[in-house]
A and B are shown apart, each in its own frame.
Chain A
């Protein structure tokens, strides 16, 4: 039987700070993503781009278009945050399929950290775009009586983001691990294929919801 999915294994201690498995895995994924990006963007060409450049441009342009369609505005200022969110989530979710690895997003801390970043970013961007007073007045819309509920909904939305991601990824990996331990080597392959799709879908959902929250905060779309 596998260990509890709700525990976060500590890999080593850095003074008083416990460095856990998702943090180490994230560092590894960050190294891969940053090095890969740096290598892939070394020789970008306007004329006759190579296959790698074509894929990069396709990914970046698709992300920008999807985010722009969701936020109904030019997505370029939001692309680093939301694009990175999608890429990291996709890579992190799929990393759980690599034998011996565990997806960082299968830990509640990672999901909550990402949701917290989205929550803080939406507040900061909303204040910067609309001004502090106008942004705060938005919480009393349509009536001040709804102010507590609106504030609470900000928190619950972030919470639901994190729980949704964590639950899906964790449960998928947990089921695969159980099936693998019970049935044998190749039996969980269909489940892994499903987990492949699920990881991408969860990355997409998380990113789109984050775009919706930030779009609502900056006022480009109606606040949900």
Chain B
């Protein structure tokens, strides 16, 4: 058996050359086209996968929206009901407040009108009472009634303090005093009154006598700046004033109660 070294070497070289040639003309182009196709397939697969993912995401989104619809509807209905309830309560409160306010105003107006009516009625009653008393007293013997009142007027002047009496005199000498009486006074009564006034004021008095039937009974001493009244007219006026004031106060208290 003989092994040819040249053949062995040439066959090895031939094989290596064949490896290089097939690599150049077979493997490289075929592997390149396979890789290109695989890349294209992978690209298409990725696109399909992306499309599938997008579809899945859209489906999940739709499913979530579909699931959330009843809850959203209930929430909207509940919100609308709550809003309507709030608005109804507000309207009711406002109407109630307006009604209370109107009622309060009506009550207040009624009380005012009632007080005014009562006041007018009382004034009218007082006027009637005063007129009635005036008419009754006018027929009374005013001379007998005037004299004591003249004494009271003189007493009132005499009971004043020194400075007050000095103020009444106003520095005049004689002091002018106008004596208004409900009925004509006698000379004695006039002289006595002049004397008492002169004694009280500490200087002579020029007394002017005037008759004033409206006084009903009694007198009025008119000094320069002051008047001393002791007459039934004054008494009736004070009584009327006091009665009217008392009635008004009682009416206001009744209204407040």
Q: Are A80 and B14 in contact (CB under 8 A)?
A: no
Q: Chain A contact residues (Cβ within 8 angstroms of B): what range?
A: 35 or more
Q: Are B8 and A116 in contact (CB under 8 A)?
A: yes
CB A216 to nearest CB in B, in angstroms, measures 21
Chain B residues lying within 8 Å of A85, measured Cβ to Cβ, are 15
The B interface, classified by DSSP as helix, strand, loop or mixed, is helix
Q: Are B26 and A23 in contact (CB under 8 A)?
A: no
The docked-state distance in angstroms from the alpha carbon of A60 to that of B30 is: 7
Q: Count how many pairs of residues, one from A and one from B, have CB atoms less than 8 Å apart in the complex.
A: 119
Chain B residues lying within 8 Å of A57, measured Cβ to Cβ, are 30, 33-34
Please encode chain A, from 149 to 185, with 1 for each CB lying within 8 Å of some chain B CB and 0 for all others.
0000000000000000000000000000000000000
The docked-state distance in angstroms from the alpha carbon of A46 to that of B38 is: 9
Given contacts A60-B34, A81-B19, contact A30 B14 (CB under 8 A): yes
**Chain B contact residue count (CB 8 A cutoff):** 33
Asked whether any CB of chain A lies closer than 8 Å to the CB of B23, the reply is yes
Chain B residues lying within 8 Å of A88, measured Cβ to Cβ, are 15, 18
Q: Which residue of B11, B17, B31, B33 contacts A109 across the interface (Cβ within 8 Å)?
A: B11
Q: Are A76 and B8 in contact (CB under 8 A)?
A: no
Q: Are B8 and A60 in contact (CB under 8 A)?
A: no
CB B15 to nearest CB in A, in angstroms, measures 6
Please encode chain B, from 14 to 28, with 1 for each CB lying within 8 Å of some chain A CB and 0 for all others.
111111111101110
7 contacts between A and B (CB under 8 A): A18-B7, A23-B14, A33-B18, A60-B26, A79-B27, A79-B31, A116-B8
> Which B residues contact A (CB, under 8 angstroms)?
1-4, 6-12, 14-23, 25-27, 29-34, 36-37, 40
- Other 5 A-B pairs with CB < 8 A, given A37-B25, A60-B27: A8-B2, A18-B7, A23-B14, A44-B29, A84-B19
> Which A residues contact B (CB, under 8 angstroms)?
6-8, 17-20, 22-23, 26-27, 30, 33-34, 37-38, 40-41, 44-46, 49, 53, 56-57, 60-61, 64, 76, 79-81, 83-85, 87-88, 104, 107-110, 112-114, 116-117
